[in-house]
């Protein structure tokens, strides 16, 4: 990539002052990396420029673009963070510092051929520590994507290490941010190196199956188009092909039979309004026979990462099974780019507090975990121990949505217990918890919550936290709040006991 190409891509999206800053950062990075080469033999500057170009395509703010261009300068050249701060400001310097810390974590990992939980834990801690600005992770994802695309130039042991790390850490992080397209790209590239034979086999299998399906779908496409046009709805139809890695995971669930996978290829219908989504759904159900168990309303109840869409699987008149996904343009944009879709160039929708995930900003329900990471980061800075199990729960497990009786939505990790919910609502409510009602019924403290549950905390003024609660919380947030409360109770009891002793002596 050339400087002129990058600036041409940036020009429609940034004002003249911002473009000058980007131009300056390109020149600084080019000079700093002047004598360096990539493993491919290309000039090193191509890498940060491609990272910056990816961030432009995602719709990121100017500071992210500048940090993308400069993200390797502090670690690999004579440029210092102080120099970057003096030229481009503190925010850009902090972003570069965050990405550098992730890089140092990887370079410090000794075992290149295996990927132990300890290694994963190490990287997780750093991701949490730099979670104060979520843009760091997004820059790192852009960096990782390009590194994966050039993995063929590295030795096999490093290929395996980077691919596994990408699949187990960066793929889930992209998913947490709702960045579906990025997650898929990371998974495909990583899987192709981790199991090349299986990747090639599944790719060929898909090619044969899709060849037959695509021809049959042409007629269905025409039937659906005619039916929707009768209702005067503005819409677009396109196709979505399942990724090879997604197929690999799905086959494991159906004992290896591709005949049991109905969403190998899906037709996606994109409309202007949410109401039109449901109207299109009724049109499809009028046209074709419905597979009742495969209707999913992710609009009314979004996936934990914020994904929204209607899914339905039908059986056509030709006995073909077809999946449809129906969503608005806004939902589609989010499904493709997740949180990055909020970083529009001109709209200025995000304040700096929002970008950094601070409590004073209003994050989408699906991004509440960003705020929770701030508390973990603070604990790490104070050298408090965070267990591997807690990190796995907070970062790498699936998420669920639960509701308060008033209808407020709370995002928790799968396997979370009622006290986790109570502490997420408010620590003062949690410490007075006497019992829980879930969906109107009494619910044990040690029974996990399920996606969609309506959870009510029954409080009692005389109730207070107990030591036994330690085994009844799973999230770092709840554990930290509980420990603080137990410490206060312990100190109060100690003071009361001391006072009692003094009174007896008198």
Q: What is the pLDDT of residues 376-434, one digit of tens each?
A: 666 655 555 555 555 554 555 567 778 888 877 787 888 899 999 999 889 999 999 99
For 177-204, how does the pLDDT look when each residue is reduced to its tens digit (9 = 90+)?
Answer: 888 889 999 999 999 999 999 999 998 8
**Taking the complete model, does pTM exceed 0.85, yes or no?**
no
3-194 folds as Hypothetical protein af1432 (1.10.3210)
Class of the CATH-defined domain 197-338: alpha beta
Report the alpha-carbon angle 59-84-381, nearest 5. Answer: 85
354-495 folds as Ubiquitin-like (UB roll) (3.10.20)
Q: Residue 118: pLDDT above 50? A: no
pLDDT of residue 338: 80
- Annotate 250-268 with DSSP letters as a single string: HHHHTTT-GGG-S-SEEEE
Reply yes or no on whether 75 is catalytic. Answer: yes
Q: How far is CA 35 from CA 31, 43, 117, 225, in A?
A: 9, 8, 37, 57
Instruction: Tell me which of 122-126, 239-243, 406-410 is least confident.
Output: 122-126
Reply yes or no on whether 330 is catalytic. Answer: no
> Among the options 76, 168, 330, 333, which is catalytic?
76
β-strand partners of 410: 402
> Among the options 75, 198, 272, 414, which is catalytic?
75
Residue 459 in 3-state DSSP?
strand
Count Cα neighbours of 142 within 13 Å in the Cβ-side half-sphere: 28
- For the chain, give every residue range classified as CATH 3.10.20.30: 354-495
- For the chain, give every residue range classified as CATH 1.10.3210.10: 3-194
Q: Residue 468: pLDDT above 60? A: yes
Q: Residue 319: pLDDT above 60? A: yes
Q: How far apart are CA 334 and CA 356, in angstroms?
A: 19
Q: How far apart are CA 365 and CA 346, in angstroms?
A: 24
pLDDT of residue 398: 67
pLDDT of residue 318: 79
pLDDT of residue 307: 86
Q: Give pairs for 345-351: CB < 8 Å, separation 24+.
A: 345/13, 345/14, 345/59, 345/61, 346/13, 350/61
Q: How far apart are CA 73 and CA 88, in angstroms?
A: 14
Q: What is the mean pLDDT of the chain?
A: 82
Radius of gyration of the chain (CA): 26
For 14-35, how does the pLDDT look when each residue is reduced to its tens digit (9 = 90+)?
Answer: 999 999 999 999 999 999 999 8
């Amino acid at each position: 990539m050339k400087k002129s190409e990058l600036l041409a891509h940036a020009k429609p999206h940034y004002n003249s002052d911002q473009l000058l800053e980007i131009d300056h950062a390109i020149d600084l990075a080019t000079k700093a990396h002047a004598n360096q080469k990539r493993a491919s033999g290309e000039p090193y500057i191509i890498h940060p420029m491609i990272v910056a170009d990816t961030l432009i395509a995602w719709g990121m703010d100017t500071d992210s673009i500048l940090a993308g261009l400069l993200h390797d300068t502090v670690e690999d050249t004579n440029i210092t963070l102080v120099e970057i701060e003096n030229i481009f400001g503190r925010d850009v310097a902090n972003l570069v510092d965050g990405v550098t810390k992730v890089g140092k974590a990887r370079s410090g990992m000794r075992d290149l051929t295996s990927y132990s939980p300890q290694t994963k834990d190490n990287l997780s801690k750093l991701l949490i520590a730099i979670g104060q600005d979520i843009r760091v992770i997004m820059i790192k994802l852009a960096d990782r994507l390009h590194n994966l695309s050039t993995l063929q130039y590295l030795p096999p042991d490093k290929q395996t290490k980077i691919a596994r790390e990408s699949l187990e850490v960066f793929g889930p992080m992209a998913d947490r941010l709702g960045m579906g397209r990025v997650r898929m790209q990371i998974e495909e590239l990583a899987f192709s190196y981790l199991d090349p034979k299986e990747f090639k086999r599944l790719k060929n299998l898909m090619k044969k199956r899709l060849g037959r399906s695509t021809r049959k779908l042409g007629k269905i496409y025409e039937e659906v188009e005619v039916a929707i046009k009768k209702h005067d709805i503005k819409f677009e139809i396109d196709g979505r092909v399942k990724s090879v890695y997604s197929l690999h995971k799905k086959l494991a669930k159906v004992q290896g039979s591709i005949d049991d996978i109905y969403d190998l290829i899906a037709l996606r219908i994109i409309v202007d309004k949410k109401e039109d989504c449901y109207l299109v759904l009724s049109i499809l159900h009028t046209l074709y026979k419905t597979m009742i168990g495969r209707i999913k309303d992710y609009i009314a109840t979004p996936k934990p990462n914020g994904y929204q869409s209607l899914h339905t699987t039908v059986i056509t008149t030709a006995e073909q099974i077809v999946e449809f996904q129906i969503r608005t343009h806004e939902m589609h944009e989010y499904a493709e780019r997740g949180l990055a879709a909020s970083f529009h160039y001109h709209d200025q929708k995000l304040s700096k507090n929002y970008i950094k995930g601070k409590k004073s900003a209003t994050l989408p329900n699906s991004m509440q975990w960003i705020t929770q990471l701030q508390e973990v980061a603070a604990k790490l800075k104070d050298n408090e121990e965070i267990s591997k199990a807690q990190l796995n729960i907070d970062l790498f497990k699936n998420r669920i949505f639960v509701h308060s009786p008033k209808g407020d939505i709370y995002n928790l990790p799968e396997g979370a217990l009622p006290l986790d919910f109570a502490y997420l609502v408010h620590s003062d409510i949690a410490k007075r918890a006497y019992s829980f009602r879930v969906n109107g019924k009494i619910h044990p403290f040690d029974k996990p919550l399920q996606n969609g549950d309506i959870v009510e905390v029954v409080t009692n003024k005389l109730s207070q936290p107990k030591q036994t609660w330690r085994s009844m919380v799973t999230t770092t947030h709840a554990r930290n709040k509980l420990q603080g409360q137990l410490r206060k109770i312990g100190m109060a009891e100690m003071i009361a006991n001391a006072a009692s002793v003094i009174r007896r002596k008198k």
